[in-house]
Amino acid sequence: MQDLAHAAAMSEEQLRQIMGFYGNDVWHYIYYLTKSADIADDLAQEVFIKCFYRIGTYRGSSSFKAWLFTIARNTVFSYRKSRFFRSGFWGGVQAIRNNEPVRNSWPDELPGTARSAEMEYLGNRRTDEIWSIIMQLPDKFREVLVLDLKAELSIQEIAGLTGLSPGTVKSRLHRARHKVQEKLRGMES
């Protein structure tokens, strides 16, 4: 997306390509911040509208994905400050509704082998348990962990997006992972 750096405008076709390429990542990030699929739907649309009209502000100093996530983060925080949010209409946790396959924690299969239905079920169940635990983390830990695991942003990109120092990002990632591991051990006992 470097061709969009310093662009004054973008075409509708470019916007469609960007939405196709980054749409799921932006939606998931907003979902993990808000814990609401309906709100994620609405705010993700708003993010891409802002992207379309504000492309002139993208300078290419960060990755395009990090720039989009900055817009998403600011949009969520603006939403939280809105009268609608303060009125107590904030929804509870909802199931993720997309059909994207969930990345699981099982190692890659050996060549020529396939996972059994039972192994597939157990792997998906374990992944669901891990994401359930992540969703229960305090915001400051959940956000950096989602940006690391789901969005696959670098420490520097997370630091730039959140306004935290790289050391603070590393510390929060370490503490978030430790909290998830503790909860998983508690579930296994």
Q: Answer whether residue 62 is part of any domain.
A: yes
Q: Looking at the structure, do residues 128 and 56 belong to the same domain, yes or no?
A: no
Tell me which of 86, 103, 136 is where a domain ends: 86
Burial of 153 (0-12, 13-18, 19+ CB in 10 A): buried
Q: Is the pLDDT of residue 73 over 90?
A: yes
d(CA 154, CA 165): 13
At residue 68, the pLDDT reads: 94
If you average pLDDT over every residue of the chain, what do you get? Answer: 79
CATH number, domain of 145, equals 1.10.10.10
Residue-wise pLDDT tens digits, 103-159: 333 334 434 444 456 656 656 677 778 888 888 999 999 999 889 888 888 999 999
Tell me which of 40, 66, 86 is where a domain ends: 86
Q: Is the pLDDT of residue 81 over 90?
A: no
Domain span holding position 41? 2-86
Report the sign of the C-alpha dihedral through residues 121, 124, 126, 132, in that order: negative
Q: Answer whether residue 103 is part of any domain.
A: no
Q: Is the pLDDT of residue 174 over 90?
A: yes
What is the tally of structural domains in the chain? 2
Residue-wise pLDDT tens digits, 1-36: 556 766 778 888 999 999 999 999 999 999 999 989
Q: Looking at the structure, do residues 21 and 67 belong to the same domain, yes or no?
A: yes
Q: Looking at the structure, do residues 73 and 130 belong to the same domain, yes or no?
A: no
Q: Answer whether residue 156 is part of any domain.
A: yes
At residue 80, the pLDDT reads: 81
* b/e per residue 89-124 (b: at least 16 CB within 10 A): eeeeeeebeeeeeeebeeeeeeeeeeeeeeeeeeee
What's the mean pLDDT in 32-48? 93
Tokens 């998983």 belong to residue: 184
Higher pLDDT: 166 or 93? It is 166
Which conformational region is residue 106 in: left (phi greater than 0), alpha (psi within -120 to 50 degrees), or beta? beta
Tokens 């992540």 belong to residue: 134
Q: Answer whether residue 97 is part of any domain.
A: no
